[in-house]
Structure 1
Amino acid sequence: MSSTKFILGLFDDPDDLLHGIEKLQKNSVPIYDVYSPMPIHGIEAKLGIKESRLGYAAFCFGCLGATVIFSIIYYTLVHDWPMNIGGKPTTSDWWAPLTPVFIPFTFEWTILFTAFGMTFTFFAATHLFPGRAPRVMDLRATDDRFVIAIDAKGNVPHDDITNLLKEAGAVEVKHNDRKYVSYE
């Protein structure tokens, strides 16, 4: 039994990488992931990656921030320390909490909660917490190589995958026995 976990195809050119993705997909070889030192337009659609749900998280964090500060202001100005400004008490009408006094604070806290919430969500989703070494399949993927990673377990024979990658223009094909390489 082979100890190979991943087969990596390293490419010099993004066009060769896209050609390699097409060739692997035509032969129904599942691709684990693709690593690139720069963004490649349209690669998400080619790989079938779903659109991110981070927008929904941002909306929820914004609603949470608006609700928290609105509750604090309402409790403070209406129940705990009501003020009668200009002969108009804040509890006289049902729309009184929607006065212009509430709007700037609510807006600012909405933005604040969204920003901090999205930062923490991004760190949690990508496992890039401060102080943690990034997980990379091949160190050259952060510099000048484009990498296609294929899960070797339970896949078509490794020689066939190697031949497909070389036909597509891979400069080098590696068989990794570890999932990630550390920077040390």
Structure 2
Amino acid sequence: MSTNKVIHALYNDDDILMDAVKKVRAEHHHIEEVFTPFPVHGLDKALGLAPTRLAITAFLYGITGTAVSTWLTWYTMIADWPQDIGGKPSFSWLENMPAFVPILFELTVFFAAHLMVITFFMRSRLWPFKEAENPDPRTTDDHFLMEIPVEGNEDELKALLESTGAVEINVVEKH
């Protein structure tokens, strides 16, 4: 198992963190991860992260739910066991479709929501009983942590991070 050094720079204000991220990126250093106690607006852009494609998957999951619910209502009420309920004809799905709208809507939302949660957990690698990867418990309360890999430039990075307003800088071995 290989180990490598990373620098953990702690900040106590999100605005200072944002300025620090921009300054570190302007100096062409790679920021491995940023840990925050709450979502920081614009941090993903400042880190240079690509936009998420989860909205596309949500749309596709919704389409899947609509298709399944369309097939389910056709199969159960038209093909498998047609019934004359309130004088409605049981030979045409289109003529009965207004009665199926709640089922279509609910299964569309059900598929989109549940499959999005599963996709999010898989994409984030949040498996059941997974150990927490938070390097400092203060980042769940009131501190912000920027993690930068050290590639032979430890002193330069420390000086840069001190100039950005870091309240604490630690060099640690990451496993």
| Superposition TM-score, scaled by structure 2 size | 0.86
Write out per-residue CA displacement over residues 54-105 of structure 1, whole angstroms, 9 at most, x where no aligned residue: 211211221111211211211222222223456653335x8335x2122111
Inter-CA distance 167–78: structure 2 relative to 1 (3 Å threshold): same
Check if 1:75 corresponds to 2:70: no
Cα deviation, residue 162, structure 1: 0.9
Check if 1:107 corresponds to 2:124: no
The equivalent of 2:115 in structure 1 is 117
Aligned-CA RMSD value: 2.1
Give the letter aligned to residue 118 of structure 2: F
SS of 2:19's equivalent? helix
SS of 1:39's equivalent? coil
8 Å contact kept, 1:128–1:134 = no
Give the letter aligned to residue 54 of structure 2: L
Cα deviation, residue 109, structure 1: 0.9
Counting aligned pairs with the same residue, the percent is 36
Give the letter aligned to residue 69 of structure 1: S
Distance 1:25 1:55 in 2: 28
Distance 1:80 1:107 in 2: 22
- 151, 154, 161: which is aligned to 1:158? 154
| Superposition TM-score, scaled by structure 1 size | 0.82
Superposed, 1:2-151 pairs within 5 Å as 4-85=4-85, 89-91=89-91, 95-96=94-95, 99-151=97-149
- Structure 1 unmatched ranges of 5 or more: 180-184
Distance 1:111 1:22 in 2: 39
SS of 2:98's equivalent? coil
